Structure 1
Amino acid sequence: MSEDAQDAAPATILVIEDNATNRYVLTSWLTWTPSSHLAAATKYTVHAVAKDSGGREAAEESAFTTLTPKNTFVGIYTPEDGSKVGVGMPFSVRFTRGITHPDDVEKAIRIKTEPAVDVEGHWFGNDRLDFRPEEYWAAGTKVTVTLDLDGVEGRPGVYGKQAKTVKFTIGRSQVSTVDVKTHKMTVKRDGKVLKTIPVTTGKPGYDTWNGKMVISERLKVTRMNGETVGYGGEYDIKDVPHAQRLTNSGTFIHGNYWGGDAFGNYNASHGCIGLRDVRGGYDGKVAAAWFFDNSMTGDVVVVKNSHDKTVDPANGYNGWNMSWSDWTK
């Protein structure tokens, strides 16, 4: 089109309304692009008003319905709506289909916090997206997440079908530091030392990961089998008490009733962090029971001075081991 033709084109205001009375106001010369994606399987009414240089107006009205997709995806997220979590818990979404249009999907997930803090997303592969601030959440922060995925094309021909609001609250700040050399864990609540606990960690050849790890699952009792983590038949303990998961690969901080005098003295585990306990976990005064009762999902456990490397940020909710610059790339 020539420059003269562009100048002669009438200024146009386009208003689109869906059948839920949401309004999308768009301005352009000859074409219109919505400021946000349109929902799938939704009827929209178009009101177009054109005005020429002489002030004369013309109006047109039409309607269209967006497609009903055959292939869809949703995001399975944590934490749950209405939950209270520790300061290390990211908002994590796992998608039911691999995403090849990550920018469109990420843009459709909006996060608001009180008090306000910058929250950024990071993709782990093509099916997981985690959001976190630069530092641990401030205690008491209220987080509202809007999942506006309905109609978003996540990959060619595959559209989101999810529109949901999720709210959660950050609880008190608890960060526990395990020193592999001293065989002790220092538990800090809101910056103050709450308790120091003797522990045992991974023995040589089975060293515990270094780094910042987030409690992602809490189990009063669970079975731990070496075959599930690649250790063959080295152990099969059917009643491990007070177990709290730190990695997807099988690192826990848990009660240990078989460790003898290892706690505070030497490292004897296959990579987990063990705290003194009793079989059946019935004694609420032992270290493992106390720590379990005083922990929540999202609390942070930091391991230092191990001979192993730092835990992979994708292994659990452990993105805190990435620098902010790497996280936001």
Structure 2
Amino acid sequence: MNGRPISGASVGARPRRGSGRARAGLTAVLTAALFAVTACGGSGGDDDKDKNGSGRAKANEPSRAVVTIAPKDGSESVATSGALKITAADGKLTEVEVADTKGNEIPGEIAGDGASWKPDHHLAASTKYKVHATAKDSAGRASAKDTTFTTLTPQNTFIGHFTPEDGSKVGVGMPFSVNFDRGITSPEAVEDAIEVTAEPKVEIRHKWYGNDRLDFRPEKYWKAGTKVTVKLNLDGVEGRPDVYGAQAKTVSFTVGRSQVSTVDAKSKKMTIDRDGKRLKTIPITSGAPGTTTYNGQMVITEKHKVTRMNGETVGFGGEYDIKDVPHAMRLSTSGTFIHGNYWAASSTFGRDNVSHGCVGLRDQRGGGDSKTPAAWFYDQSMIGDVVIVKNSKDKKIQWWNGLNAWNLAWDEWEK
């Protein structure tokens, strides 16, 4: 029995002593490890806190980008061009919106370096605009600014009277022409405010006559079926000092079939070609010696079933005053017409040139006979058709005398 307790004690004591040493060693290791973990953990925790806190702080900092808009918020009587300027410092512009109170936007472009924005064209007069601009700094933080301003109300304005009219159907020779009621001294500003496009697409150039007329045309006659659209964005354009445009509208016209008639003053005949095919040949009479008919390409700009022709209006004194000229179609501003002639003998046409510069076709007084050459040609013609005169002993008509743009070389028209 004694052996069992001793044995038991002996067996039990060793484990306790061994367990104590193990606990002591484990405690020391755990303490050291805890100290080490605490030291590393404490250091790491502080760093993470600083790092995370700093990141949040930077994210919450305001953007360094500064947006500047001129004119100042609430400004009135602002100039329609040159006054609107939007810039960014310590950052780059990312978005700019400028629109009037109706939602009509002013297009513009942000510079490549993001430092500025400028509008593509002038502003309208007497209009309130809203501006919203956003810029971002190098850290991607955004800064925005919103302003409003109102443009000036002009005391003096100008408008442009144009031809052809909106919705017209015209011949292939019709240019688009604008006559301004005030002389323009800033032609480039006006040019930039008028856009003429065509479908199918074709290059269109312009030319000024004096300072109050601006014409547009393609290199060659329009193709039949072409649709031409003109945007007159003249509202707010300063055409001359303190004189502003008052129009903002879109005009469109369609080109009909192609009809080109050629008058040969020598053979005294006129051929009519439609869509490239000969339609008819008609005997004519043109200008007599001393009052010859202009050569060149002319465009029909007016049609009158009956009209009065008085020589005094074109510098001929009292040589003639015919109150009922039938089937008259104007070819020049200076008084050239192609018209019916009932007072000359029928044998005159195709044989003699007896007019004061016009092209005459046989007709009946009053123009009531639809079978006469003049009546037939009148019915077959439309505004914008081309009438070419050749072999006359006269000079070529000036391009500005009527709507006769085709008499000026293409390279003399500005892009």
- The alignment's TM-score, normalised by the length of structure 2, stands at 0.76
| CA distance in structure 1 between the partners assigned to 2:354 and 2:368 by the alignment | 23
Q: Does 1:70 pair with 2:151?
A: no
What is the Cα deviation at residue 60 of structure 1? 1.8
| CA distance in structure 1 between the partners assigned to 2:291 and 2:89 by the alignment | 75
Q: Deviations over 1:246-269 (max 9, x none)?
A: 000000000001111211001000
| CA distance in structure 2 between the partners assigned to 1:281 and 1:225 by the alignment | 19
Q: How does 1:276-295 map to 2 (within 5 A)?
A: 276-295=362-381
User: Which deviates more from structure 2 when the two are superposed, residues 206-215 or residues 57-66?
Assistant: 57-66
User: 2:390 corresponds to which residue?
Assistant: 304
What is the Cα deviation at residue 8 of structure 1? 6.4
Q: Deviations over 1:222-249 (max 9, x none)?
A: 0101100000000010000000000000
Q: Deviations over 1:48-103 (max 9, x none)?
A: 22322232322221110011111111111111111100000001111111111111
User: 1:267 corresponds to which residue?
Assistant: 353
Q: Does 1:144 pair with 2:226?
A: no
Larger radius of gyration: 2
| Letter in structure 2 aligned against 1:22 | N
User: 1:3 corresponds to which residue?
Assistant: none
User: 1:10 corresponds to which residue?
Assistant: 91
| CA distance in structure 2 between the partners assigned to 1:52 and 1:43 by the alignment | 30
Q: Does 1:22 pair with 2:117?
A: no
Q: Is the 8 A contact 2:227 2:255 kept in 1?
A: yes
Q: Is the 8 A contact 2:88 2:135 kept in 1?
A: no
SS of 2:348's partner is: coil
| CA distance in structure 2 between the partners assigned to 1:144 and 1:23 by the alignment | 20
SS of 2:376's partner is: helix
Q: Which has the higher helix share?
A: 2
User: Which deviates more from structure 2 when the two are superposed, residues 143-152 or residues 194-203?
Assistant: 143-152
Q: Deviations over 1:91-125 (max 9, x none)?
A: 11111111111111111111221111111111111
What is the Cα deviation at residue 146 of structure 1? 1.0
| Superposed CA RMSD | 1.6
Query: What percent of counterpart residues are identical?
Result: 65
Q: Is the 8 A contact 1:15 1:26 kept in 2?
A: no
1:106 counterpart (191, 195, 202) = 191
SS of 1:33's partner is: strand
- Structure 2, unaligned stretches of length 5 or more? 1-86
| CA distance in structure 2 between the partners assigned to 1:114 and 1:8 by the alignment | 44
- Quick one: structure 1 residues 277 and 7, their matched pair in 2 at CA, closer, same or farther if it must change by over 3 Å? closer
Q: Deviations over 1:122-151 (max 9, x none)?
A: 111111111111000000111111111111
| Letter in structure 2 aligned against 1:303 | V
| CA distance in structure 1 between the partners assigned to 2:166 and 2:259 by the alignment | 21
| CA distance in structure 2 between the partners assigned to 1:22 and 1:252 by the alignment | 46
| CA distance in structure 1 between the partners assigned to 2:411 and 2:227 by the alignment | 25
- Quick one: structure 1 residues 37 and 178, their matched pair in 2 at CA, closer, same or farther if it must change by over 3 Å? same
- Structure 1, unaligned stretches of length 5 or more? 1-5
| CA distance in structure 2 between the partners assigned to 1:222 and 1:35 by the alignment | 48
- The alignment's TM-score, normalised by the length of structure 1, stands at 0.95
Q: Is the 8 A contact 2:88 2:116 kept in 1?
A: no
Q: Deviations over 1:136-172 (max 9, x none)?
A: 0000111111111111111111111111111111011
User: 1:314 corresponds to which residue?
Assistant: 400
| CA distance in structure 2 between the partners assigned to 1:90 and 1:277 by the alignment | 30
User: 2:165 corresponds to which residue?
Assistant: 80
User: Which deviates more from structure 2 when the two are superposed, residues 240-249 or residues 114-123?
Assistant: 114-123
Q: Is the 8 A contact 2:171 2:382 kept in 1?
A: yes
1:186 counterpart (244, 253, 271) = 271
How many residues matched? 324
| CA distance in structure 1 between the partners assigned to 2:225 and 2:343 by the alignment | 39
Higher relative contact order (CA 8 A, sep 6+): 1
| CA distance in structure 1 between the partners assigned to 2:256 and 2:97 by the alignment | 44
- Quick one: structure 1 residues 104 and 8, their matched pair in 2 at CA, closer, same or farther if it must change by over 3 Å? closer
| CA distance in structure 2 between the partners assigned to 1:101 and 1:31 by the alignment | 26
1:196 counterpart (281, 285, 292) = 281
| Letter in structure 1 aligned against 2:363 | D
Q: Which has the higher strand share?
A: 1
What is the Cα deviation at residue 212 of structure 1? 0.3
